[in-house]
Structure 1
Amino acid sequence: MSLPASHKCPQEYFEECLNFLIEFEHLYNFPNTDILIENTLDKIDIRGLEPVDVLDESFTLANFLCNDYLNNLFFKLNRLEINNMEFVADTDSELLVEAPISQKKKHEIFYLAKEIGRICKDVNCNTVVDFGSGLGYLDQQIFMSNRLNVLALECNESHYAGAKKRQRKYHQDSRQNVKFIKHTVTEDSRTHIAEYLKDKFDARSFSICGLHACADLTIDAIHLFQKMEDARALVIMPCCYHKMKQTRAGGFENFPLSKRLKILYDTYEGFKYLKVPFLRLAAQPPNISQEKMENLVFSLLARATLQLYAHQRNLVLKRKKRKAVRFNTSQNDFSSYLKNAADHGFYLTHKDNSDSGTPVFNREELLLSWRRHSRDTFKRAAVFIALQNRLQSVFENFILYDRLLYLRENGIHNCVFKRIVNEKISPRSLALIARK
């Protein structure tokens, strides 16, 4: 994103960030499911919570700034925060693609296509290469709203086939201008992309785009943009930082990227702090105000109670499905949550893979463990959630500024992060925009 106003150079900013991460690692440097195992809530040094209703919507941590712990944290955090970039709505245009997708997705497609059209006009380019094109909704909107050619690259066979089918059924007029190719984008895709462009459009110059370019796909796009002479612009929305490829040593292949941060990463032993939990928090939705704190606290502590139970018995807790417990099935009642979790959401295994039988949940012990949580535990959990919400934007800026610095180190100075969608509708609202 950008360098905070309180810092004069990247070196100073990165060093101050790293020192902050070391001091406050208890707020992020582990999975949130482990907060009871790590005794995290006891490390949040706040007194005077007894008369305060932290679950009330009007509660704010600002009321506790006389507290030494929070005063120190916020003083340092404020120096690392950047001015919030405002989203500018467009009420004069409309989404031209009819598709069975959520309002969130429609919002993202409309504004990203609009930004792509604007950038392509600036760099005098009429062809776009879409990385991770999915079912082709964005590609059809780009063509319909901007009359640009689109080369849509998608690695998933089902999505690729679905995009072709939708085009035949609903978008016959785009068949000469929107071309779908089944291809897995990597840093080494430049020869293939050049061949596809020449074959499909007889085009050379092009721009790269991507909606929710997950994990390393944004980095692949950056490398290809940097190395391909005919790539004129890049407009891509990154997400899922925590899914980036890891090295055998436990670091990440593509983080840090910039030379400046790589040096400091070694000096400050960044491998201890810049791990999956750090990246996961950076990718977390930034607005907790849209959800009730009471629900967030219950969800956090209920899941952590299961994790503690498994840990104390040297067991591993595993999910049966991605959404192990549907929140609306529990209604903040731990007994209902536990029944749903034990029957449908989770199962237990032995850490040593022994054949001593399949472990089962002792529901009476789990209910007793839940009842042991004091009122103070629930209040500290609310403070923990509020603090993580404040950390999120700082962590994300740290990651994204590293990418900007990498581009500038490699001679691409016309690059920024811009908020192109409403973050209250789409949490990942930032697009990396670069021009040559």
Structure 2
Amino acid sequence: MALPSGFEGPKEYFEKFFNFIQKYEYLFNFPNTDLLVNEVLDKIEMNLQELDIFQEVFDIRKLNCEYLTDFFEDLDKFDVKYEDFKDNDNLEFLIEVPLSVKKKHEIAYLANEIENVCGNIQCDTIVDFGSGLGYLDEQIFKTTNFNVLGLECNETNYVGAKKRQRKYYIDSMQRVKYIKHTIKPESTNIQEFLNDKFPNCKGFCIAGLHACADLTVDAIDMFLKMEHARALIIMPCCYHRIMEGNGGFKNFPLSRTLNEAYEEYSGFKYLTVPFLRLATQPPHMETEKIEDYVFNLLSRAVLQVYANEHNCKLKRNKRKAVRLKTLDNNFEAYAADAVNGFKLFLNKSGQESQVVSNNFERNIIIEDLISIWRQIPQLTFKKSAVFVLLQNSMQPAFENFVLYDRLVYLQEKGIEKCMFKKIVNEKISPRCLALIAQK
């Protein structure tokens, strides 16, 4: 289920959730990099002077504090109980490729779920949305009797899947086919692909692992409109990458019920990129590493303070601007890394012009950053830890809100057999939920 037990239906749930996020907007509705700039921590009203929040075992729910009591009383109303994941010792990942334990686990269990769902309905073909290098498709071939059509938009992945098949899996070539195709809501030519590759196809299932951004919604819409689509089994992720447009998002809210609540409660103020980014965060955090989380959070926030003081924007020079894993929570090392990992750009008349490097010599930048860091009081570190733990506590409720909207949308379209199910081990793969629907 995805509706918390205390609510009669989606309308009440959506409305009460808006009340919740309005009350605690200050905990999420901004980029976390602006934590210090926005003085967010001042709103966490707790006495932490005598508390060792960085102890090895720390349970924030056990603190006797009015602020936390009120917060968790409000949050727990949105708690959702999914059926526990069940390990299957008989499942094996059968593809000889050097993948991570996480990836092998996801592929094996998704293929198994596909077999369980589609084995009892009029479905003989699986259409894999975002088939990548074809690992899921080959696993399905080795463990089921279904035909597989892999659709992949990336040329390199598509070519790689074809080459791998010809080299290692030649026995699958009659039952596993690949097509380079960019999936869009109007991709009705999927039926033409099926007619060409598997002319005897009676019914198909749309499947997908790591259906990023809008791909899950595109899959839902195609499942609804295509006559021979019998089932949908897809694992959504990366909600923060949903396409933006017209002051909101293209595919969120999705259901009529949430759209009505969105209008009534000025949802555009709260259902923002930071909201979706929090919904996407891994829901489980090891408390013994809270110091690392706080260091990373405040270090980046210090850079933002510095940029703000100089009326500048920060831009990364590379994907990993700072090598966090090698710094051992040393801010001097962080600052030295940041000098090379970021560039400053002036905020000037709506245009960004790069600051001339001579105006900000490297040693001056490092000294200024270290000065800001050293002025941070110990209480700020403790409140930052509380902030991290509260966000982590909110994540499952935020993710459920996003996913339940999609479930309600399907129900509004007449699909009664639909649910979210935990099909992989959440300790191995945080994005453990699959949307499963049948006609």
Taking the TM superposition and a 5 Å limit, the aligned residue runs for 1:260-299 are 260-289=257-286, 292-299=289-296
Cross-structure match for 2:18:
18
Deviation at 1:364, TM superposition (A): 0.9
Aligned with 1:117 (options 110, 115, 118): 115
Cross-structure match for 1:73:
71
Secondary structure of the 2:84 match is coil
Runs of 4+ deviating beyond 2 Å: 353-361
- Counterparts of 2:87 and 2:207, CA distance in 1: 21
Decide whether aligned partners of structure 1 residues 81 and 136 sit closer, same or farther in structure 2, where only a CA change above 3 A counts.
same
- Counterparts of 1:338 and 1:394, CA distance in 2: 35
Taking the TM superposition and a 5 Å limit, the aligned residue runs for 1:130-149 are 130-149=128-147
Contact 1:117 1:146 in 2 (8 A): yes
Tell me the amino acid that sits aligned with residue 414 of structure 2: G
- Counterparts of 2:17 and 2:56, CA distance in 1: 30
1:256 and 2:253 are equivalent in the alignment: yes
Per-residue displacement from partner, 1:50-93 (whole Å, max 9, x unpaired)?
222111231111232x4222111111101111124311111012
Tell me the amino acid that sits aligned with residue 101 of structure 1: L
Cross-structure match for 1:175:
173
Per-residue displacement from partner, 1:335-393 (whole Å, max 9, x unpaired)?
001111112x2111111234762453621111010001111111001100000010000
Cross-structure match for 2:35:
35
Cross-structure match for 1:391:
394
Tell me the amino acid that sits aligned with residue 113 of structure 1: A
- Counterparts of 1:338 and 1:165, CA distance in 2: 45
1:380 and 2:383 are equivalent in the alignment: yes
Cross-structure match for 2:89:
91
Secondary structure of the 1:232 match is strand
Tell me the amino acid that sits aligned with residue 343 of structure 2: Y
- Counterparts of 2:11 and 2:325, CA distance in 1: 46
Taking the TM superposition and a 5 Å limit, the aligned residue runs for 1:33-432 are 33-47=33-47, 49-64=48-63, 66-190=64-188, 192-202=189-199, 203-247=201-245, 249-289=246-286, 292-343=289-340, 345-352=341-348, 353-354=352-353, 357-358=356-357, 360=360, 362-432=365-435
- Counterparts of 1:327 and 1:379, CA distance in 2: 20
- Counterparts of 2:72 and 2:51, CA distance in 1: 20
Q: TM-score, normalised by structure 2?
A: 0.96
Tell me the amino acid that sits aligned with residue 117 of structure 1: E
- Counterparts of 1:147 and 1:346, CA distance in 2: 52
- Counterparts of 2:16 and 2:216, CA distance in 1: 26
Per-residue displacement from partner, 1:251-294 (whole Å, max 9, x unpaired)?
00100011011011011110000000000000000111276111
Tell me the amino acid that sits aligned with residue 51 of structure 2: V
Decide whether aligned partners of structure 1 residues 355 and 140 sit closer, same or farther in structure 2, where only a CA change above 3 A counts.
closer
Secondary structure of the 1:431 match is strand
Deviation at 1:167, TM superposition (A): 0.4
Residue segments in structure 1 that go unaligned for 5+ positions in a row: none
Residue segments in structure 2 that go unaligned for 5+ positions in a row: none
Per-residue displacement from partner, 1:231-261 (whole Å, max 9, x unpaired)?
00000000000101101x3200100011011
- Counterparts of 1:290 and 1:131, CA distance in 2: 36
Secondary structure of the 1:411 match is coil
Aligned residues: CA RMSD: 1.2
Tell me the amino acid that sits aligned with residue 59 of structure 1: F
- Counterparts of 1:21 and 1:141, CA distance in 2: 42
Secondary structure of the 1:218 match is helix
Decide whether aligned partners of structure 1 residues 290 and 87 sit closer, same or farther in structure 2, where only a CA change above 3 A counts.
farther
Secondary structure of the 2:313 match is strand
Per-residue displacement from partner, 1:16-51 (whole Å, max 9, x unpaired)?
10000001001000011110011111111111x122
Q: TM-score, normalised by structure 1?
A: 0.97
Tell me the amino acid that sits aligned with residue 35 of structure 1: L
Secondary structure of the 2:29 match is coil
Contact 1:218 1:236 in 2 (8 A): yes
Contact 2:235 2:434 in 1 (8 A): yes
Decide whether aligned partners of structure 1 residues 356 and 105 sit closer, same or farther in structure 2, where only a CA change above 3 A counts.
closer
Question: What count of residue pairs does the alignment treat as equivalent?
Answer: 431
Per-residue displacement from partner, 1:382-421 (whole Å, max 9, x unpaired)?
1000000100000000000000000000000100000000
Secondary structure of the 1:351 match is strand
Secondary structure of the 1:392 match is helix
Per-residue displacement from partner, 1:270-325 (whole Å, max 9, x unpaired)?
00000000000000001112761111110110011101110111101111122211
Contact 2:55 2:288 in 1 (8 A): no
Per-residue displacement from partner, 1:204-244 (whole Å, max 9, x unpaired)?
41000000000000000000001111000000000000101
Contact 2:122 2:203 in 1 (8 A): no
Tell me the amino acid that sits aligned with residue 278 of structure 1: F
Contact 2:419 2:435 in 1 (8 A): yes
- Counterparts of 1:356 and 1:431, CA distance in 2: 47
- Give the stretch that moved more between structures: 5-14 or 319-328: 319-328
- Counterparts of 1:314 and 1:409, CA distance in 2: 48
Tell me the amino acid that sits aligned with residue 313 of structure 1: H
- Counterparts of 2:300 and 2:328, CA distance in 1: 14
